[in-house]
Amino acid sequence: MAAVAWSVVMQWGLRSVQLGTYLVLARLLVPADFGSFALATAMVGLVETMASLGMTEAVAQHRAPTRVQLDAAHTLVLVTGAVAAAAVAVAGAALMIVTDGPLPVVLVGLSGTLLLGAWRVVPEALLRRNLQFREVATAAVLGTATGAAAAILVAERGGGLWALIVQQLVTYLTTGIAIRRRVRSTRLRLVNPNHARELANVGWRIATASTLSSVNRKADDLFLGAHQPANVVGLYTAGYTLSDSAETGISGALAQVALPAFSRVADEPARLRARYLRSVQASVVISFPVFATLAAFALPAVVVLLGRSWQGAAPVLALVAAMSFIRSAGHLNAPLLVTVGRSDVVLRIMVGQAAASTMLFATVAPWGMIAMAWAVVARVAASLPVTLFAVRRCAGVELTAWSRLILAPAACAALSAVAALMFTQAMPVAADTAAVLVVGVGLSVVFYLGSMAVVAPHTLAGVLNHSLGRIARKPQET
């Protein structure tokens, strides 16, 4: 459980630093800078996922990899990383000939991250294999914080878009150095990569699934960037980033804990279903009011956090928060399917989602960022019934029981956010935006807790008692 805890700490730490850096840089740069960078990172991210060959997970999951296999895997990943870096750099240089935009420069600048990332793949896998998540978390947070400091320094000196490029390079370099220092006892050598064939056979399946996941996450940026100017992409990614930070901090952390928690009762189907339903209940009771409030107060949130020059991102934030509201109800479905041995179903669902996302986003991209945000909501709303059907068929979960668990939190969260918004509309026109946001969020929380105490007192009490009970047991467990 300590390993799981450190994994959650890493995710929260990374998201906190990344969001804080984003809020600072948003006041030093312009939306077009973020738009160009988002488009380039979407492209490079897909290449990096494929070039890593899934070796991090393959090595971490292998029962007993030999020293020769580790050396060969390290060599193979370095070779593919170098080839990928060269290909991206050449592509960026070629684009410079045909276009004057900043995208080619960003691609050339970010090409170095492919080699730096490959340099740490196997060392990080060794740390994860040995459950040294504290070391991984420390290295990741250190690298992110160092990159953030470098980016802010460059931005304050007028570096513009280069601040974001420097941030990425410094983050990768610092994280790689920190991870390599923690595995100094295992010095990896360059050997014939053919010895990594067994690991590669496992890794390519993982890399395929990861690539499909990346397509699902980044296809909207790619298609929007192909049809819209960089400032529109920047506003879109700003709204998406604010909601995604909240979703990753809540739903993402819970999903990481879910898999090991489900695995403990994998051989007891009845207990597994009960634990899944309790986890869903706890998740939605916490996440629903957050995303409902974020959707209702999107405009003041954007103005307060990013500045008035970014207020065009407010509609996107409202829609993406609605998407997160829907997705938070089903984010535990994939861990449950993996636990019951149906990872093949998860992969098939991801393939279908990737294909549907590609067609949908390609269709709506010419209509702008609001249409793209609506498409994101539609994709998530359409995929939720599919995963629920898979959960019912593969794990025997009754959908009526699932529906009863989420109905009260969903209704109370939505109505509370709307009621709070109506109250803030009655505030004086001259009221400060920050005051409107604070009052609105406070009222939404009060209304939600009050309505849940009336409509579903046992649900609210059960979640609170379970959470407080775990906190009370923590010192005894340690």
How far is Cα 392 from Cα 343, in angstroms, rounded to an integer? 15
Instruction: Return all residues near 116 (Cβ < 8 A) that are at least 6 apart.
Output: 169, 172, 173, 176
How far is Cα 451 from Cα 453, in angstroms, rounded to an integer? 5
Confidence of residue 316 (pLDDT cuts 50, 70, 90): very high
| Same-domain check for residues 108 and 251 | no
Pull the structure tokens for residue 401: 């029981």
Confidence of residue 326 (pLDDT cuts 50, 70, 90): very high
| Same-domain check for residues 259 and 196 | no
Pull the structure tokens for residue 413: 């969260």
Q: What is the per-residue pLDDT for 250?
A: 75
| Same-domain check for residues 179 and 276 | no
Question: Each residue of 460-471: pLDDT tens digit?
Answer: 666 655 554 443
Single residue among 158, 182, 217 that ends a domain in this structure: 217
Q: What is the per-residue pLDDT for 176?
A: 92
Which of 109, 47, 44 shows the shortest CA–CA distance to 80? Answer: 47
Q: Is residue 223 one of the residues assigned to a domain?
A: no
| Same-domain check for residues 266 and 206 | no
Q: What is the per-residue pLDDT for 472?
A: 39
| Same-domain check for residues 399 and 422 | yes
| Same-domain check for residues 147 and 243 | no
Instruction: Return all residues near 194 (Cβ < 8 A) that are at least 6 apart.
Output: 72
Contact 32/106 with Cβ under 8 angstroms?
no
| Same-domain check for residues 269 and 201 | no
Confidence of residue 477 (pLDDT cuts 50, 70, 90): very low
What region, left, alpha or beta, does residue 160 occupy, with left being phi > 0 and alpha being psi -120 to 50 degrees?
Answer: left
How far is Cα 86 from Cα 108, in angstroms, rounded to an integer? 9
Q: What is the per-residue pLDDT for 88?
A: 94
Question: Each residue of 403-416: pLDDT tens digit?
Answer: 988 898 999 999 99
Most confident of 66-80, 182-196, 361-375, 461-475: 361-375
Q: What is the per-residue pLDDT for 474?
A: 44
Pull the structure tokens for residue 199: 């690991």
Query: How many structural domains does the chain have?
Result: 2
Task: Mean pLDDT check: name the lowest of 30-39, 58-67, 97-106, 112-121.
Answer: 58-67
Task: Mean pLDDT check: name the lowest of 18-22, 67-71, 165-169, 303-307.
Answer: 67-71
Question: Each residue of 59-108: pLDDT tens digit?
Answer: 766 667 777 878 888 888 898 999 999 999 999 999 888 888 888 999 99
| Same-domain check for residues 117 and 237 | no
Q: Is residue 21 one of the residues assigned to a domain?
A: yes
In sequence order, what DSSP letters do the residues of 113-164 get, joined into one string? HHHHHHHHHHHHHHHHHTT-HHHHHHHHHHHHHHHHHHHHHHHHTT-TTHHH
How far is Cα 237 from Cα 375, in angstroms, rounded to an integer? 15
| Same-domain check for residues 181 and 286 | no
Q: Does the pLDDT of residue 5 top 60, yes or no? A: no
Range of the domain at 321: 228-478
Confidence of residue 453 (pLDDT cuts 50, 70, 90): confident
In sequence order, what DSSP letters do the residues of 202-247 get, joined into one string? HHHHHHHHHHHHHHHHHHHHHHHHHHS-HHHHHHHHHHHHHHHHHH
Rg, Å, the chain Cα set:
23
How far is Cα 465 from Cα 467, in angstroms, rounded to an integer? 5
Task: Mean pLDDT check: name the lowest of 4-13, 112-121, 318-327.
Answer: 4-13
How far is Cα 337 from Cα 118, in angstroms, rounded to an integer? 30
Please tell me whether residue 478 adopts helix, strand or coil conformation.
coil
Task: Mean pLDDT check: name the lowest of 3-7, 345-349, 446-450, 466-470.
Answer: 466-470
Q: Does the pLDDT of residue 275 top 80, yes or no? A: yes
Single residue among 179, 194, 217 that ends a domain in this structure: 217
Helix segments in 297-368, DSSP class H: 298-306, 314-327, 333-339, 343-364
| pTM of the predicted model as reported, rounded to 2 decimal places | 0.83
| Same-domain check for residues 196 and 159 | yes
How far is Cα 405 from Cα 403, in angstroms, rounded to an integer? 5
Which of 108, 111, 168, 118 shows the shortest CA–CA distance to 143? Answer: 168
Query: Is pLDDT larger for residue 274 or for residue 169?
Result: 169
Measured CA to CA in angstroms, residue 380 lies from 134, 325, 326, 371 at distances of: 33, 10, 7, 15
- Average pLDDT (357-376) is 93
Q: Is residue 163 one of the residues assigned to a domain?
A: yes
Q: Does the pLDDT of residue 39 top 70, yes or no? A: yes
Single residue among 162, 188, 217 that ends a domain in this structure: 217
How far is Cα 281 from Cα 328, in angstroms, rounded to an integer? 11
How far is Cα 318 from Cα 414, in angstroms, rounded to an integer? 13
The mean pLDDT value of the chain amounts to 84
| Same-domain check for residues 234 and 193 | no
| Same-domain check for residues 348 and 274 | yes
Contact 18/168 with Cβ under 8 angstroms?
no
Q: Is residue 14 one of the residues assigned to a domain?
A: yes
Measure CA 459 to chain center.
28
Residue identified by tokens 């290295």 is 139
Q: Does the pLDDT of residue 175 top 90, yes or no? A: yes
Q: Is residue 222 one of the residues assigned to a domain?
A: no
Question: Each residue of 284-306: pLDDT tens digit?
Answer: 888 899 999 999 999 999 999 99
